[in-house]
Amino acid sequence: MIKAVMMINTQGKPRLSKFYDFMTVEKQQELIRGVFSELCSRPENVSNFLEIDSLFGPDSRLVYKHYATLYFVLVFDASENELAMLDLIQVLVETLDKCFSNVCELDIVFNYSKMHTVLDEIVFGGQVLETNSTEVMKAVEEISKLEAASNAISLVPKSVSGWRGR
Amino acid sequence: MPSQAVLEELNLKELIIGSELSSPNAHGGNVAWSLIRRRKPNNNPNRKMEQLKTIGRELAMGSQGGFGQSKEFLDLVKSIGESRSKAEEDRIVLTEIDTLKRKLLEPDIPKRKLKEHIIRLVYIEMLGHDASFGYIHAVKMTHDDSLLLKRTGYLAVTLFLDEDHDLIILIVNTIQKDLRSDNYLVVCAALNAVCRLINEETIPAVLPQVVDLLSHGKEAVRKKAIMALHRFHRKSPSSVSHLVSNFRRKLCDNDPGVMGATLCPLFDLISEDVNSYKDLVSSFVSILKQVTERRLPKSYDYHQMPAPFIQIKLLKIMALLSSGDKSASEMMYMVLGDLFRKCDSSTNIGNAILYECIRCISCIVPSPQLLESAADAISKFLKSDSHNLKYMGIDGLGRLIKISSDIAEQHQLAVIDCLEVSSYKGNFFEVVCFHVSTLFFFPGLMFLTFQQDPDDTLKRKTFELLYKMTKSSNVEVIVDRMIDYMISINDNHYKTEIASRCVELAEQFAPSNQWFIQIMNKVFEHAGDLVNIKVAHNLMRLIAEGFGEDDDDADNKLRLSAVESYLQIISEPKLPSLFLQVISWVLGEYGTADGKYSASYISGKLCDVADAYSSDETVKGYAVSALMKIYAFEIASGRKVDVLPECQTLIEELLASHSTDLQQRAYELQALLALDARAVESILPLDASCEDIEVDKDLSFLNGYIQQAIESGAQPYISERERSGMFETTDYHSQDHHEVTSHALRFEAYELPKPSVPSQASTTALVPVPEPSYYSEPHQPISTSSSVSERESSEIKLRLDGVKQKWGRPSYQSSTSASSSTPPQAANGTSTHSDGGVASSSSSRPRSSYEPKKPEINPEKQRLAASLFGGSSTSRSDRKSSSGGHKPAKGTANRAATVPKENPTPVPDLLDFDEPTATSGVAATDPFKELEGLMESSSQDGGGSTDVMGLYGAPVKTTTSVDSLLSELSDSSRGTYHQSQTTKGPNSKEALEKDALVRQMGVNPTSQNPTLFKDLLG
């Protein structure tokens, strides 16, 4: 199971973090800081894996990938395959790239809720849901379309809710 | 997109993360990203700020439907990004929080604005600030009808709240409603929330809806519903244990994505209980086969690999299912062989599958060919330039080595018998070479040179492998290396692990005692207090007991070498506390044993230790005890003891110590110094640390004394358990015929509350309270038959009784209700309350002393008992007779008082207990059972079929019929209410309706209604 997804920039600022088991705000911060300091201390051109029992409890691994100014981090347990998780980061970035065309840190910062939408389509409750970035994009686009529609006409849902309430 | 246009215009390309997506074929997936870095260095902060502002304005116009953010948000992000210090950032965030607090309270906020506020809250919390004031607003948003707000609300609550948060109660109802929504996006959002926010108690409230969604038209919804059920399973396996067949059925869903999602819960289920899923092996194998044969739609390809994540999950499941099972393993040989042949090792994902195959082979009963291909794959990994692949290779090697020895025995092949670490260059760039001389499954890998570089992960993995490979022939080299590495790292967590591994290896393979003690010294010296205290105790015991040989000489040598090494080390500064404890103990026991060192020399050293580590009480304690032993041995051997002056001052200091422990030790030492040789020798005999001290737990040496006391009129002791706990515990014993566990927790659900009975139980439970003879009753047979003293003892109990009453009912109620809540024999339970005596005298089983009194039972009482309990049901005849047997235990004096009480209760009681369970049980199950049978028959052909993938391609009639049946089921389940109502009669209909109502309202019933839902959901 995937325990957490994080995007941290090279200064250590979290850009997006999602924990699939509840953590208090303080714990989240502690973990993000811990992960970042581990990542900083790693030289270039080494493996993308880290065993990170000290932060996340026994049997937890971490896979990260460094893109320009951002670290993409996945934390997971023994039931996942490390190389596959590395590719999941790839899926995520590919999708973001399709989403924002030439994604950069700014896109991620400024489209905070869209980022979550994308992530939720890829990882659901700690399990991999979809790995095809085209499919993910389709779902995300549909959501944004309907959201826009529901925003414009607020009359329709009213009647629906009336029906539902019966 | 406008944002991109702006980016290009402003030359902000240096921030771009990934741009050119080269074809995965060219370089392999993992290098598909070429990063564009810093085309134009631009370090002018002002300019950058300008740029950001422009972008912000551009984005703020919100021209790109749905996701545009307002200027405030951008300003917030920007100012936080530019803040120079943590304090500045905090200030910005605090003002932002103030603004948001104000704004959220404004009436009539436009929806887009509201969403934005909540997103800002989420952002603030991600930065580590408290946003709890806004939680309620997020909760409110989930109630909104607009999809935009609802999704935002759900997003926010999933990030804000934990499953036990108080506000969850406000969301559960909305979730229930949304799960039934027509808009599948609303359903998806609700399912997302379900995964995070539903806890064990609220699962039943949403479970029916989630199960309904398993047959939803959209595959995305089905997928998520399965994942949600999986999540439920993780939180509380019992809540969905009746739904396991759904997972099996969903394995042949006509959408491969749904099938893939089903693998996740199945993986968990199978890892818990392998044997009940063995039948699925063939299905999994055929699914995997069809996936590898590319029979899935193209959209499931990833980097030209067909559905790799599904393949990996399948391999993991198959590894679980076939571990140690030859026939199951054989089914997989073909497909595994195909995978090795077909897998494209130039892409990352291809290697991921290869690695998974290796892992799978290391779990199953492998064939020689498969082992060979696995070995080939590993050697490719190890030779690769990529550190990731090296890592995987080392991991795989570690796995294969674990199984290789068995195979070697089976096939009479050569074993990897000498894995030597032959060359070693120190420091950071150490080179570890394994010389693999007879690796039967590594033909191309005779000499594996593995360079260890700064990659810590890789290094750790290598040490893990070394640890697995350790044998007595190579232990010295490996442990030396490990200790060097242990000294070099700072990570305490990993240091602990490596230290414990060193200890383990040293204990297991130590070639000599001297070596062992040296290694232990090193470990203690460098890892010190990180070492488990048990290790220290083991070491002390080992030194005391020797290595198990009966060779005293060798043991003495071992001790001497330990003492010598400790005397060397002891003067080093700053030793860890645990190590000092070991040193002190060993010096105390064996410091002077050999005669090589004088007592004053050793005691001087020990005093130094106590002085140098004066803040550490444990060390001081050990040191003082060691001193005491040394002086004791001196005195015992008849030598004159002259206490060193520093030792004297130490004793005096400790006599006034704040620690009572140290004080006592000091006093003992002082007292010991004044004793003569004979006394001292019996107090602290030489080298007696291993002698067992026999503890007479029964205190039998006091027997004479007790006898005397009893003869002179004292009362015999009655244990506390017998005094107070007899009623509950014995009740329990008498009731639980089938449950063997005497005091264990109960795990099965309590039975359904029955309206009439509990009130009766409680009234009967209360009735005896004012009756003082209640507790004395059980003892009356004893008192009539035995001595005066026993009569007195029962009177003592009477008095205790009075005390209990003073504290009022609760104490009584708690004791009685405990027995009434043990359900299966509730009928018996009430009867025990009604007459108390039954319970207590049936307790005679555990207390054997009462057993012989049984024969004295008055036959008249027996008849009375039989008439009171007799007659209604045959099934309880055995219990009836037993209660009849106990009945007479009641005192005659009390009969008049109890009879009227019992008379009204038992008869209706028994009837009540029998009837409702019977009717509701039978009536509720039957119709559903039938339905289930229908479904089973239709789903079985799906489950058993091997050509599962064929179903995906063209939805064949069978699946559609399953679907329609499922949908019919939901309809017909409504119908069954009526149906059942006719068969059941009014009672159960009411019960069903009530239950349904309760669930609709989101109230969590005290127990799951097994009869209703288990069968419905199959």
Q: Would you state the pLDDT for residue B747?
A: 58
Q: How confident is the model at residue B958 (pLDDT cuts 50, 70, 90)?
A: very low
Q: How many contacts (CB atoms, under 8 Å) link A and B?
A: 255
Asked whether A77 and A59 are in contact (CB, 8 A), the reply is: yes
Contact between chains at A91 and B302 (C-beta distance less than 8 A): yes
Q: Would you state the pLDDT for residue B751?
A: 63
Chain A residue with CA closest to B116: the answer is A113
- For B724-773, write each residue's pLDDT tens digit: 765 544 444 444 444 444 455 555 666 666 555 444 443 333 434 444 44
Tokens matching residue B775: 């507790």
Q: Would you state the pLDDT for residue B163?
A: 83
What's the mean per-residue pLDDT of chain B? 68
Q: Percentage of chain B with pLDDT > 70?
A: 58
Contacts of B78 (CB under 8 A, 6+ apart): B49, B52, B53, B56
Residue B318: list chain A partners with CB under 8 A.
none
Contact between chains at A124 and B3 (C-beta distance less than 8 A): no
Contact between chains at A160 and B182 (C-beta distance less than 8 A): yes
Listed range (B587-601, B836-850, B957-971, B977-991) with the worst mean pLDDT: B836-850
Q: How many other CB atoms are found less than 10 A from the CB of residue B272?
A: 12
Contacts of B561 (CB under 8 A, 6+ apart): B513, B514, B517
Residue A143: list chain B partners with CB under 8 A.
151, 185
Contact between chains at B312 and A17 (C-beta distance less than 8 A): no
Q: How confident is the model at residue A31 (pLDDT cuts 50, 70, 90)?
A: very high
Element (H, E) at B402: helix B387-411
> What average pLDDT does the segment B434-455 reach?
37
In Å, how far is A54's CA from the nearest CA of chain B? 6
pLDDT score of B484 more than 70: yes
> Which comes out higher in pLDDT, residue B498 or B862?
B498
Q: Would you state the pLDDT for residue B996?
A: 58
Contact between chains at B162 and A22 (C-beta distance less than 8 A): yes
Fold type of domain A2-155: Beta-Lactamase (3.30.450)
Q: How confident is the model at residue A5 (pLDDT cuts 50, 70, 90)?
A: very high
Element (H, E) at B984: helix B957-984
- For B667-700, write each residue's pLDDT tens digit: 988 888 888 888 887 777 776 666 667 777 778 8
Q: How confident is the model at residue B961 (pLDDT cuts 50, 70, 90)?
A: very low
Written in H, E and C, the secondary structure of B898-963 is HHHHHCCCHHHHHHHHHHHHHHHHHHHHHHHHHHHHHHHHHHHHHHHCCCHHHHHHCCCHHHHHHH
Chain A residue with CA closest to B263: the answer is A127
Chain B residue with CA closest to A144: the answer is B66
pLDDT score of B172 more than 80: yes
Of B226, B213, B319, B215, the closest CA to residue B264 belongs to: B226
Tokens matching residue B819: 């027995």
B2 touches chain A (CB under 8 A): no
- For B620-630, write each residue's pLDDT tens digit: 899 988 888 88
Contact between chains at A102 and B7 (C-beta distance less than 8 A): yes
Q: Would you state the pLDDT for residue B903?
A: 43
- Rounded-to-integer distance, Cα B8 and Cα B4, Å: 6
- For B132-143, write each residue's pLDDT tens digit: 888 998 998 888
B29 touches chain A (CB under 8 A): yes
pLDDT score of A60 more than 60: yes
Nearest by CB: A87 against B349, B356, B455? B349
Residue B112: list chain A partners with CB under 8 A.
151
Contacts of A71 (CB under 8 A, 6+ apart): A6, A7, A8, A9, A10, A36, A39, A64, A65
- For B866-887, write each residue's pLDDT tens digit: 444 444 443 444 444 444 444 4
Which residues between 21 and 80 in chain A have a beta carbon less than 8 angstroms from any beta carbon of chain B? Answer: 22, 25-26, 28-29, 42-43, 45-51, 53-54, 67-70, 79
Contact between chains at A102 and B152 (C-beta distance less than 8 A): no
Q: Would you state the pLDDT for residue B109?
A: 80
- For B328-354, write each residue's pLDDT tens digit: 888 889 999 999 988 888 888 999 999
The residue count for chain A? 166
pLDDT score of B388 more than 50: yes
- Rounded-to-integer distance, Cα B357 and Cα B339, Å: 8
Asked whether A117 and B42 are in contact (CB, 8 A), the reply is: no
pLDDT score of A88 more than 90: yes
Of B18, B32, B29, B20, the closest CA to residue B304 belongs to: B29
A110 touches chain B (CB under 8 A): yes
Asked whether B793 and B716 are in contact (CB, 8 A), the reply is: yes
- Rounded-to-integer distance, Cα B893 and Cα B895, Å: 6
Q: Percentage of chain B with pLDDT > 90?
A: 8
> Which comes out higher in pLDDT, residue B437 or B869?
B869
- Rounded-to-integer distance, Cα A16 and Cα A108, Å: 8
Asked whether B788 and B714 are in contact (CB, 8 A), the reply is: no
Listed range (A23-37, B220-234, B624-638, B869-883) with the worst mean pLDDT: B869-883
CA distances from A78 to A5, A57, A128, B350, B546 (A): 16, 12, 14, 19, 41
In Å, how far is A74's CA from the nearest CA of chain B? 15
- Rounded-to-integer distance, Cα B113 and Cα B122, Å: 14
Contact between chains at A125 and B456 (C-beta distance less than 8 A): no
pLDDT score of B615 more than 80: yes
Residue B123: list chain A partners with CB under 8 A.
112
* Torsion (CA) B755, B758, B764, B767 in degrees, nearest 10: -100
Q: Which residues pair with A9 in a beta bridge?
A: A70
Q: Would you state the pLDDT for residue B862?
A: 55
